[in-house]
Structure 1
Amino acid sequence: MCCVMAVVFIGGARLSVTFWTLCDSLKQVKDMMVFKSQLGDIESTLHSLEPLIKEMAECEKELDGQGEELENLSVEMEEGVELIRKCSKASRFKKYKYGSRLVELGKSLQRLLGILKVQGIRDVKKALISMRNIENVVQRIEGNCVIQNIQSEKIEGWCAVPEPTTVTVGLDVPLRELKMKLFTYGVSMVIVTAPGGCGKTTLATKLCQDAEIKDKFKSNIFFVTVTKKHNLFLIVQELYHRTGAQVPDFQSDVTAVSWMHQFLKKTGQNPMLLVLDDVWAGSEFILEKFDELKMTNCKILVTSRSSFPRFGSPYYLECLNDADAMALFHHAASLGDRSSYISEDLPRKIVERCMGFPLAITVLGRSLCGQPIEIWQKRVLEWSRGSSVLESEHDLLDCLQSSLDALDEEKPLIRECFIDLGLFPEDQRIPATVLVDMWAELYGIHEDILSISHLYELASQSLANLVVTSRKDNKYSDGYYTEHFVTQHDMLRELAIRQTSQEPLQQRMRLMIDICGDNLPMWWKEQKYQSLIARVVSISTDEEFSSTWQNLQLPEAEVLILNFQTKYYALPEFVEKMKKLKTLVLTSCSSSPTELNNFQLVDSIPSLKRIRLERISLPSISRYPIQLKSLKKISLFMCCIGQGFGNGTIQISEAFPNVVEMNIDYCNDLVELPAQLCDLIQLKKLSVTNSHKLSALPEDIGNLVNLELLRLRSCTDLSELPGSIRNLKKLNFLDISDCFSMKELPENIGELCSLERLNMRQCSRLNELPSSVLDLEHLKEVTCDEETEILWEPFLPYLTNMHIKVVKEDINLNWLHKSHF
């Protein structure tokens, strides 16, 4: 007979009939001596069960639909009746056989009695809890109006998915990609990130309304808006409210986390989707607690302006393309037959200004809806004269400004770095190395890695994009940041510019001047201000500029950025009066290197420490006798060097006596490194990269006795290193990666007694290493590819402190579309 110990629920008419049948059967056999003891125990148990059976029968009349739960118990008792019937007819031998089964029946009935008593107590408690839940719901409904007025701790919607917007465009592809990412095996949490106003919440709402999502998760979809002032208590309470369960009281975060885990484990028994919308930076604790369980059935979608990379690779929501942007604007502005008086040219100009930003398109469309055509024309005219979209659209401004305000409270330096990005021309990739030089002098950030980390932080807040070109995998960063560029959505750039323009001109710490032709700003023409206190000055001119400057007093300027597009360019004469200038950045956007005049003016700047030249003809500056004793760093990017360092009226060691760092990158006419560079004995870092025609280094390079870093990356024609390299006793990092023509290393390379790191990946023509590498006692790390790794195998047993790092190449030259040679 099957045991009844697994039975939990009893009741129903069938059970009542079966119970009394079992009692009657027992009476017929209770006088059988062979089973007297067992049958007596069963009879006693049935007497105890009788009142409970009668009560369940009465409940069955009041509560319909309980019979299915009582089916198992009825079957058990029916089998008990059959067992007693068999006992009454059994032979003497078989009667003893049935004795053990009667004992089992008696024990099962005893366990059933205990279960029923506990069940009765539990049912009473459940009834009380149900009553309490009903009371809570009533109280919540009655207090809803009050709760809505409590802004600091309001609970809205009970985790319900928001109503979808009437029109969504451009989200079909993101929706498909997001579902694919969300359904990936092993992925429990996905972060959707983008600047404010890009449609993250709209995408999340559309996802929750998707037929495939609803089919998988059914009613187990929860949507919680976290907001900036996150509160774990409120989030967990809202989840419990949605299920109709009793809302627990929390005494601490630990208690809230415990209740949250209970909720996820119970609810997550079936597939569950939890959306945490509008999560701000600083909420990592909450995400961490939700992510701890990593249940197979539970998927968590987070929308945020921050990328939270520690929780996996985020999904970046891109701006709208032209067609989708125009469709959204037509809807927002209600452009139909009745608006046919608006020519297509006006909407196109307005949409172009929005740069695919959904919130900007929607806000502008609504503000212009039904307005006379003159209002439309006025808006476009204002923009053409330099006005910003943010000046007229306050809702858009508030949305974007909130991201910046959060930085102001928590990370004021990062906020300043963001505003600095507005100093550069529109749609220009900003070299990270320029920002490194700026911030070193403005904010005292002298470690390059700290400046780069600030850029990564801005990117993680969706306030900028950090693009690493050529090599996508940047896990093996070695301090080479020439291939790092910053880009920014124009709307965010306008936000950065607006932070500065709010102050009166004479009080601004940043001054940005954009000159078209020779049209200087009116305040400059009229010499309205005797002097300005700006610490950073950025001046951009176009191809029509004639290099005619008027006087400008900038006594406090520490950074000067000049962008120009002409073949010939003269430094403004007021530069020589900028006595506090520390960083000078000259960038030519012309199709060919610009010849620079008046470069000798920098000779009068006593504090100049850093110079960066991009697409400049070096012979034009080497003819001037200059002596920059304070200069510490020179960077030449895509410059025309030629014989620039050799034909001057002054030796390079006299012009730059204290330079400690020199970077030469993408200088394609550089065939041989000028021998004069070997006289810069204070030099600690020499980087010559991507100069593909460079075939030889000067033999006297060993004179650079203070050199600590020598980087010759991607000098593809360089076939060997001079023997004098043995004299670089302080050299701790040598980079010859991508030097495809390098046939051998110097025999005496082992004399580089301080060498700690060597990068030699993609040196495919190297056949063997000199035996002196065994003398590189301080060598800790060698970066190479699979081919060059083999060259080290014979030496590995002896170089026990050395680690080999094998890197696979991933070349990407997409950045060239923004560059000019």
Structure 2
Amino acid sequence: MAVAFVGGAALGAVFGELLRAVEDVVSKSASFNSILKQLQSTLNRVTPTIEDIEKLNRVLDRPQLETDMFTDRLREGQRLVLKCAKVRCWNYCAKYSYAKKLMALEKSLLNFFIIDVAAVNYRDTKDVLVAVNRVDSKLDRMGTMGGFVGCCGIPGVRDFVVGFYEPLRVLKMQILDGKEQVVVISAAGGCGKTTLAKMLCHDAEIKVKFGDNIFFVIASKTPSIMVIIEKLFQHKGYPVPAFQTDEDAMNQLVHMLKKFGPNPILLVLDDVWSGLESFIEFLKQQISDMKILVTSRFEFPRFNSTIKLKPLKDQDAKALFCHSAFPHHGSSSIPDDLVNKIVKGCGGFPLALDVVGRSLCGRRKEIWKHVLKQWSEGQSIFDSESNKELLTCLQTSLNTLVERYKECYLDLASFPEDQRIPATALMDMWVELYNLGENGEDTIAILDELSKRSLVEQVIVRKDASDASGYYNEHFVMQHDLLRELAIHQSSQEPIEQRTRFIMDIRGTDLPRWWIEQGQHPIHARLVSLSTDEMFSSNWHDMQLPKVEVLVLNIQTRDYTLPQFMEKMDQLKVLIITNYGFCSAEIKNFPLPRYLSSLKRIRLEHVSISSISNSILQMRNLRKLSLIMCEIAEAFRNCTVHIPDMLPNLVEIVIDYCNDLVEFPAWLCNIRFLKELSITNCHELVAIPEGFGKLQNLEVLRLHACTKLLELPKSIRSLHKLDFLDISDCISLTELPEQMGELFSLRNLHMRGCQGLSELPCSVKNLEQLKEVICDEETAYLWEQYKIDLINLEINVLKEDVNLDWLHDLQP
């Protein structure tokens, strides 16, 4: 749209004056009748556009800077027309001169709308698409936490895309003008189906037709109709009903969708495997003014309109590869024929071109030749012929990793496809499996390397968060589903009993036959991952897993029972339970009493715990407890026991996005050896008890974004080992305790966003070890008067860096 160029109230007024002048002279003078009527016709044709521009600019509050020259031209035109009315019919010289000027005026008007408006229309469309991509990406990345689960916004498109012009043109034609309601994009993994779908959703013509009624839903291998419908309700801001059955959910969805208008609806179901055909057919029959776009590795014969996405042609493939392999477009010592052979070996698959290009970026010519040799000797890792070349390329990229990085990469398959993997969960695993450092730096370094090789995509919600003394709770990675399959395949080359990783995706209540037949034969895996969907009944078959050190349970049901065979896991060190369903999951039998002796790390996400039994309080080896988006208030309230030397090795507690936590439990203050406590994004937390001072070994305290926290306890004076304190975005804090000056070891203080503070306690001048304060401009001036006493203090004023760039993507 050209609003930014032609907007402003003055433009409409001047345009109206010119039109009225033309109409008046036409009715009173015959001297220039034909020319003025032509001019009048031109003005009448553009009048609706001018009126629309006026309305839009009033809504958008657009400036008029770009329209001044055109407005001046309209005023000159008005004066010219009025002068024409005074020209006598016998004055042929004047008539000739003014006729030429009128024709020039009409031509300038046409040029403006044909050339200038079109050019700026293109510019503004690009600006809008950039802004939309940023906003979409931000919302998509926020979808991980804090009530944004289920957002169906359009993910952003990568910055460099080639070879999709023709497929996009064909797809647009079918969506805009085709008779079929359901359009399927079918291709092998890694061919760019999702990219094409994203490009369609961001297309200007598509946005004009469908407006806000575009929904982008990742279906995945085990789709849940209820979860998809719950996401659609939430995305539009509607209360999510308590659906009784899939049929009930579908009926209520149709009832909601029929309220939308005046635009039609575009629903994108991305990465559909099977199980949604009946849902799609139902929507097709119930809502006539709706288009459904499906991307899938499979073809669906029941839907007539299918676009088979083909690999990139040679020129486009080379352009994409070179963008990844030579990102700075500088001179390269790699011969062109060698580049061409590598490009050919990638088979035109966009994912392979990108992955292999990045893996060879900056590498010597000998490495490139070695890769070619490996390809010539390699074999397909899957049976599918269509994936042969792509998977051979991907496997070669994986083989270039050093052993530790490769092992860590294979561990990523423990988490479901199309889900963000928390860096902190990986830290918990890798500290115990590979003896990595507990501060997270080793883990982040590994993820950075995997990201550089395009084996994962890093997603950092707040880039500044990782600077906060090893805080990585808002750091995630995503793994392409094809790469996850590759990792699973690599981990499955040995017989089941001998595998170091045992990864199972269970659909419904169907356990594989070999599991049942396995009987009492032990599986010696160190890492076990069991993923179940919303239909799973928790009816586990017995298994022997005597060497398991890390157990990852990915669940979707609202009620979940831990498998009884966990009681035999005597070497279990890490337990990770993550609920990917819409509602919080109630863990019925947590914790089991007999498998706790070796546990060092427990991470629970999006689950509900109703009680904390004595058994967990006596876990002598537990070092870290993480509760993310959990319902824990009832369990904390019900715990009144006091056990001597309770949790003697627990050094870290993480409580993040637990919005039912109103007061920090007093009994937790008895954990004497606790060194690090993070209570972040707990927006209902109001109070911290005075007994908090008993945590005398505490070195790191994070209270970031506890927006209702009213004050810090006076007993904070007893935390003489506290080195790091983060109270950023605690907007309800109006003062800090006078005892702050007794934090003699405090070196780092983060307090950006503490808008309610109007002064600091005088005792802060005694913080002689304080080296850095990170705050905003409103708070920085409060510290200036104390810089005389705190000669080593550095005050850093930072702007908030929330990655809502992720407007990723999201992504993966």
TM-score (norm 2): 0.54
Contact 2:355 2:394 in 1 (8 A): no
Alignment partner for residue 561 of structure 1, among 552, 556, 576?
A: 552
Report SS of the residue matched to 2:636.
coil
**Which segment is superposed worse, 726-735 or 649-658?**
649-658
Counterpart Cα distance in 1 of 2:600 and 2:632: 21
Is 1:449 equivalent to 2:430 in the alignment?
no
Paired AA for residue 398 in structure 2: L
Paired AA for residue 748 in structure 2: R
Shift of 1:654: 6.2
Counterpart Cα distance in 1 of 2:313 and 2:796: 39
Shift of 1:506: 1.1
Alignment partner for residue 431 of structure 1, among 419, 422, 433?
A: 422
Report SS of the residue matched to 2:459.
strand
Counterpart Cα distance in 2 of 1:617 and 1:653: 27
In structure 2, the residue matched to 1:730 is 721
Alignment partner for residue 403 of structure 2, among 405, 412, 429?
A: 412
Alignment partner for residue 494 of structure 2, among 493, 496, 503?
A: 503
Alignment partner for residue 770 of structure 1, among 761, 764, 768?
A: 761
In structure 1, the residue matched to 2:43 is none
Shift of 1:476: 3.5
Shift of 1:168: 7.6
Distance 1:543 1:388, change over 3 A: farther
Report SS of the residue matched to 1:581.
coil
Distance 1:717 1:815, change over 3 A: farther
Is 1:750 equivalent to 2:744 in the alignment?
no
Paired AA for residue 512 in structure 1: I
Distance 1:601 1:786, change over 3 A: same
Report SS of the residue matched to 1:619.
coil
Distance 1:208 1:528, change over 3 A: closer
Distance 1:283 1:724, change over 3 A: same
Shift of 1:589: 2.0
Alignment partner for residue 586 of structure 2, among 588, 592, 595?
A: 595
Shift of 1:547: 1.2
Counterpart Cα distance in 2 of 1:167 and 1:765: 53
Alignment partner for residue 394 of structure 1, among 381, 388, 396?
A: 388
For residues 634-685 of structure 1, the C-alpha deviation after alignment (integer angstroms, 9 at most, x for no partner) is 0000111113123137447766333110000000011111111101111100
Shift of 1:806: 1.6
Is 1:660 equivalent to 2:651 in the alignment?
yes
For residues 55-105 of structure 1, the C-alpha deviation after alignment (integer angstroms, 9 at most, x for no partner) is xxxxxxxxxxxxxxxxxxxxxxxxxxxxxxxxxxxxxxxxxxxxxxxxxxx
Is 1:462 equivalent to 2:454 in the alignment?
yes
Shift of 1:611: 0.3
Shift of 1:435: 0.3
Paired AA for residue 399 in structure 1: C
Distance 1:756 1:666, change over 3 A: same
Counterpart Cα distance in 2 of 1:460 and 1:607: 36
Contact 2:469 2:724 in 1 (8 A): no
Shift of 1:222: 7.2
Counterpart Cα distance in 2 of 1:209 and 1:684: 49
In structure 2, the residue matched to 1:190 is none
In structure 2, the residue matched to 1:704 is 695
Paired AA for residue 402 in structure 1: T
Distance 1:649 1:724, change over 3 A: closer
Counterpart Cα distance in 2 of 1:804 and 1:221: 40
Shift of 1:209: 13
Shift of 1:280: 6.2
Structure 2 gaps of 5+ residues are: 1-161, 169-191, 200-309, 324-328, 340-353, 372-379
Report SS of the residue matched to 2:734.
coil
Matches within 5 A, 1:379-390: none
**Which segment is superposed worse, 687-696 or 801-810?**
801-810
Contact 2:708 2:732 in 1 (8 A): yes
Counterpart Cα distance in 2 of 1:389 and 1:498: 11
Matches within 5 A, 1:628-639: 628-639=619-630
Counterpart Cα distance in 2 of 1:626 and 1:207: 55
Report SS of the residue matched to 2:674.
coil
Shift of 1:594: 1.7
Structure 1 gaps of 5+ residues are: 1-163, 176-196, 211-219, 231-275, 288-301, 306-366, 368-386
Alignment partner for residue 473 of structure 2, among 482, 498, 513?
A: 482
Is 1:421 equivalent to 2:412 in the alignment?
yes
In structure 2, the residue matched to 1:311 is none
Counterpart Cα distance in 2 of 1:472 and 1:205: 33
Counterpart Cα distance in 2 of 1:532 and 1:282: 38
For residues 414-457 of structure 1, the C-alpha deviation after alignment (integer angstroms, 9 at most, x for no partner) is 11111111111111111111100000000000231111111111
Matches within 5 A, 1:132-143: none
Report SS of the residue matched to 2:400.
helix
Counterpart Cα distance in 2 of 1:209 and 1:696: 56
Shift of 1:752: 0.5
Contact 1:706 1:728 in 2 (8 A): yes
Counterpart Cα distance in 1 of 2:166 and 2:722: 59
In structure 1, the residue matched to 2:348 is none
Shift of 1:692: 0.3
In structure 2, the residue matched to 1:268 is none
For residues 531-562 of structure 1, the C-alpha deviation after alignment (integer angstroms, 9 at most, x for no partner) is 01100000011111111111111111000011
Paired AA for residue 569 in structure 2: M
Counterpart Cα distance in 2 of 1:479 and 1:390: 43
Contact 2:417 2:480 in 1 (8 A): no
Matches within 5 A, 1:508-657: 508-528=499-519, 530-622=521-613, 627-648=618-639, 650-651=641-642, 656-657=647-648
Report SS of the residue matched to 1:715.
coil
Shift of 1:391: 7.3
In structure 2, the residue matched to 1:780 is 771
Report SS of the residue matched to 1:440.
helix
In structure 1, the residue matched to 2:483 is 492
Shift of 1:226: 5.9
Contact 2:491 2:501 in 1 (8 A): yes
Paired AA for residue 452 in structure 2: S
Report SS of the residue matched to 2:738.
coil
Paired AA for residue 453 in structure 2: Q
Paired AA for residue 462 in structure 1: S
- Residue identity over aligned pairs, in percent, reads 50
Distance 1:653 1:481, change over 3 A: farther
Distance 1:440 1:484, change over 3 A: same
Contact 1:532 1:553 in 2 (8 A): yes
Q: CA-atom RMSD, angstroms?
A: 4.0
Is 1:679 equivalent to 2:670 in the alignment?
yes
**Which segment is superposed worse, 573-582 or 475-484?**
475-484
Paired AA for residue 405 in structure 1: N
Matches within 5 A, 1:263-278: none
Counterpart Cα distance in 1 of 2:660 and 2:734: 23
Paired AA for residue 630 in structure 2: C
Paired AA for residue 513 in structure 1: M
Higher radius of gyration, 1 or 2: 1
Counterpart Cα distance in 2 of 1:208 and 1:506: 41
Report SS of the residue matched to 2:445.
helix
Counterpart Cα distance in 2 of 1:525 and 1:706: 49
Contact 1:227 1:280 in 2 (8 A): no
Distance 1:205 1:791, change over 3 A: same
Alignment partner for residue 789 of structure 1, among 780, 787, 801?
A: 780
Counterpart Cα distance in 1 of 2:445 and 2:389: 31
For residues 134-177 of structure 1, the C-alpha deviation after alignment (integer angstroms, 9 at most, x for no partner) is xxxxxxxxxxxxxxxxxxxxxxxxxxxxxx999986799999xx
Aligned residues: 482
Report SS of the residue matched to 2:582.
coil
